[in-house]
């Protein structure tokens, strides 16, 4: 082979591989974006606007609820013996971010704010469903049931009792929907999501039949999307597919998280509150605060 041909091949081969690598980077970048969008669509709860308080707000304590004019919140005091005392307060939305504000103490209350019921609040305190009357500032029992979890969805209250039965509650009365399925973690238009003995079940609301069973996760603090769920285990936020049951790592060093719509907010174990997409991408630091819920 002539010296000229060798020189030509010497120059051509690197160019060939460079072109291949460049094309691959473009394809991989497009594929990564596609996968990111697909994961976010799997995890999104598109019915969040139909809920009272969100599932993630409730398992973080359920002590915040925003209305049209006021932010309602539960202020809890803890004593040396471990006991707590709480009371419901409200803050006008125009006062957010103000250092000096009106301090309205409304009702002694130490539980979860489930959502609004007309002009009042439905709440859960020590297993009892209550109506918090915002005109008379009183607490009124709504049911004799001992309740483990409760959610407001489409103007109906759904709850599970200590026997694992699921009920609905409307102004016209209570109705038993499913018996003995466990703790009600989440509800949407089509399904109930329940937890019993470590197994998560998806139950068809119309037929009252189990359509899916999952295990391997810590589901007490799970949020539910269209095709996947998120749960927090050992300070790592993990994603699990309904279809395959596979578990994937999303974000680590997480103390707590909330999920609404396409938005994920995480509190870091090292301090800092972050806003991101549901798959943990596009992460932006909101605050240096150290938060546990």
Query: Tell me: the pLDDT tens digits for 170-219?
Result: 988 999 999 999 999 999 999 999 999 999 999 999 999 999 999 999 99
Taking the CA atoms of residue 39, residue 44, residue 46 and residue 50 in that order, the dihedral angle to the nearest 10 degrees is 170
Q: What is the domain-level CATH number for residue 260? A: 2.40.10.480
pLDDT score for 61:
93
pLDDT score for 29:
67
Query: Does one domain contain both 183 and 231?
Result: no
Assess if residue 130 is contained within a domain. Answer: yes
Query: Does one domain contain both 147 and 90?
Result: yes
Q: What is the pTM of this model?
A: 0.84
pLDDT score for 16:
38
Which residues fall within 8 angstroms of residue 3, CB to CB, at 6 or more apart? none
Cα 111 from Cα 124, distance rounded (Å): 6
Residue 25 — pLDDT band, cuts 50, 70, 90? very low
| 25 three-state secondary structure | helix
pLDDT score for 11:
37
Write out the two tokens for 205: 């609301």
Query: Does one domain contain both 65 and 153?
Result: yes
pLDDT tens for 129-166 read 999 999 999 999 999 999 999 999 999 999 999 999 99
pLDDT score for 153:
98
- H-helix or E-strand spanning residue 9: helix 3-43
Assess if residue 16 is contained within a domain. Answer: no
Residue 98 — pLDDT band, cuts 50, 70, 90? confident
**Number of structural domains in the chain:** 2
Residues spanned by the domain of 233: 225-292
Among the candidates 188, 217, 241, a domain finishes at: 188
What is the average pLDDT across 229-234?
97
pLDDT tens for 32-86 read 677 778 889 999 999 999 999 999 999 999 999 999 999 999 998 889 998 888 9
Assess if residue 281 is contained within a domain. Answer: yes
C-alpha closest to that of 269 among 253, 293, 288, 280:
253
Query: Does one domain contain both 141 and 238?
Result: no
Q: What is the domain-level CATH number for residue 68? A: 2.120.10.60
């Amino acid at each position: 082979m002539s010296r000229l041909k060798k020189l030509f091949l010497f120059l051509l081969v690197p160019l060939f591989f460079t072109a291949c690598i460049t094309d691959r980077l473009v394809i991989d970048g497009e594929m990564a974006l596609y996968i990111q969008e697909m994961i976010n669509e799997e995890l999104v709860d598109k019915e969040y606007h139909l809920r009272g308080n969100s599932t993630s707000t409730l398992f973080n304590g359920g002590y915040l609820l925003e209305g049209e004019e006021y932010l309602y919140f539960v202020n809890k005091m803890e004593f040396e013996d471990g006991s707590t005392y709480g009371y419901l307060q409200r803050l006008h939305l125009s006062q957010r971010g103000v250092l000096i504000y009106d301090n309205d103490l409304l009702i002694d209350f130490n539980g979860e704010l489930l959502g609004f019921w007309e002009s009042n609040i439905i709440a859960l305190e020590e297993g009892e469903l209550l109506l918090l009357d915002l005109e008379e500032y009183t607490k009124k029992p709504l049911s004799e049931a001992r309740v483990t979890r409760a959610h407001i969805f489409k103007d109906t209250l759904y709850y599970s009792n200590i026997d694992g039965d699921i009920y609905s509650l409307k102004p016209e009365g209570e109705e038993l929907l499913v018996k003995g399925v466990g703790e009600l973690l989440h509800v949407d238009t089509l399904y109930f999501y329940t937890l019993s003995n470590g197994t998560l079940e998806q139950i068809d609301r119309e037929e009252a039949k189990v359509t899916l069973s999952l295990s391997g996760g810590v589901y007490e603090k799970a949020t539910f999307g269209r095709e996947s769920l998120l749960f927090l285990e050992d300070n790592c936020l993990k994603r699990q597919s309904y279809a395959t049951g596979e578990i994937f790592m999303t974000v680590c060093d997480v103390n707590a998280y909330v999920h609404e719509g396409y938005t994920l907010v995480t509190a870091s174990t090292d301090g800092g509150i972050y806003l991101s997409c549901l798959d943990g991408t596009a992460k932006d630091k909101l605050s240096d605060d150290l938060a546990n819920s």
